[in-house]
Structure 1
């Protein structure tokens, strides 16, 4: 079968399609025939060798690519409730795994797999796991209460968009920060307030929410400008990296994404009911993985690119 790997770290051109053995599931695992696999910024970071420099993956040899998957169960190991033919979505979180989701088949722990959203095609469904779980886990870390205020930076992006929708569902008052042309979109997600990128972030937020917001999800990785928009004693969630240093009593949470079957099942149901917006920027066959990665690197997309093995 075919899979995408990188053997010498670099840009999108470093991605290769190679032949590998079909993986075999062990106890508590499922083998999924991949229908669609989303392309995420973390895949570009893996290809560039960022995680090799951190020691997360080996600096030599073949490194697998891909986190998100939508597909159909082909084989189930012992102790698994899924059966062949089940439509599922899943999340691969171990970068050291020999195979990523950019492949024709993938083995995942059943604890990282959930039923696919009913009535949603696999292309759209593949954009759900990584970004929605990141948004959900960031919200959980902040532990805000109904009626409190939340700033979401990068609100038109994949993580930011889900964060706005999930926060609104929890009864939070959302301040969305994004490009001016995205105002209608993020208000449609449920944002009450909007701050364009052309406006000073902290001043813009405090103009709309005197005293500052109760918390922030920094999906755009702005750091201190987002922190300055938070009231003393509030909370800050960094979805990439560790975030800025703490001051004014603001609690800093570095979100470390983890697979969660129960949470992903709930998110799948929200997507099926139309409460989460799944956005696809385009599709590519697996053989065009490098082209898809280059499109993501070049920016300007709304939604995720998706590979079709």
Structure 2
């Protein structure tokens, strides 16, 4: 079968489509025939060698791809899924020898969920990594109904889901994004909007005097976003450890974990129309390097999806 790998680190051009053995599921695992997978920042970071030398990525060949939507082909012992089941899942270990940019993949059943009913697998593939990241960041913030939340990068993959999930929890959302994204993020459920043309903290505090109760920093703005938080508030850093703690603000680095139970809940929300699944473009797996270059160029709203 075909899979995308990196044998030497660099830009999108190092991504290669190669023939690899069909993986075999063990106990507690499933083999999925991939219908669609997505391009995410972590894929380009892996290809560039960001994790090289950490002991996390194996030397010699790195696998690419986290999101998967497809159909179960084979199930190991002790698994509730059966061949033919449409599923979505997340490969969340960089050390795995095979990624989701492939024709088939083996995942732990605990990282898999039923696919959202009535949703095309191309759209369904955009859900796992970004929606789980948003959900786990919101859980880490632990805000209560009626409190205020700033979401940076609110028109992006993680940010868009974060706005929708926060609104569903009864939070009052301040969305920070490009000025042309206001209609979209208000459609996600944002009550307030701060365009990039404004100084972020000033814009937030003008709309929410005293500052917000928490920040979900999907755009990785760091201190610029931290300054919008009230004393004693909370800050979720989606990438990295976030800024240093001061003014009693609780800093929560978010470390994505595959979670089939949580993903099942997200799948149901998507099927019910409560989460917006956005596809920017679709390309064949054979054009993985082209897709990565397109992603690196930026300006996308929604995910690039690869179809084997």
Q: Same fold (TM over 0.5)?
A: yes
Aligned to 1:12: 12
SS at match of 2:146: coil
SS at match of 1:182: helix
Structure 1 gap segments, 5+ residues each:
none
Structure 2 counterparts to residues 174-253 of structure 1, below 5 A:
174-253=173-252
User: CA RMSD, aligned part only?
Assistant: 0.5
SS at match of 1:111: helix
Deviation at 1:54, TM superposition (A): 3.3
Aligned to 2:306: 307
Aligned to 1:167: 166
Q: Deviations over 1:222-262 (max 9, x none)?
A: 00010000000000000000000000000000000001111
SS at match of 1:244: coil
Aligned to 2:52: 52
Aligned to 1:75: 74
SS at match of 1:54: coil
Are 1:35 and 2:62 counterparts?
no
Mapped partners of 1:55, 1:220: distance in 2? 27
Are 1:124 and 2:127 counterparts?
no
Spell out structure 1 runs of 4+ moving beyond 6 A: none
* TM-score normalised by structure 1 residue count: 0.99
Aligned to 1:276: 275
Mapped partners of 2:266, 2:38: distance in 1? 17
SS at match of 1:51: coil
Deviation at 1:56, TM superposition (A): 1.7
Aligned to 1:112: 111
Mapped partners of 1:25, 1:291: distance in 2? 31
Mapped partners of 1:54, 1:174: distance in 2? 37
Mapped partners of 2:151, 2:53: distance in 1? 30
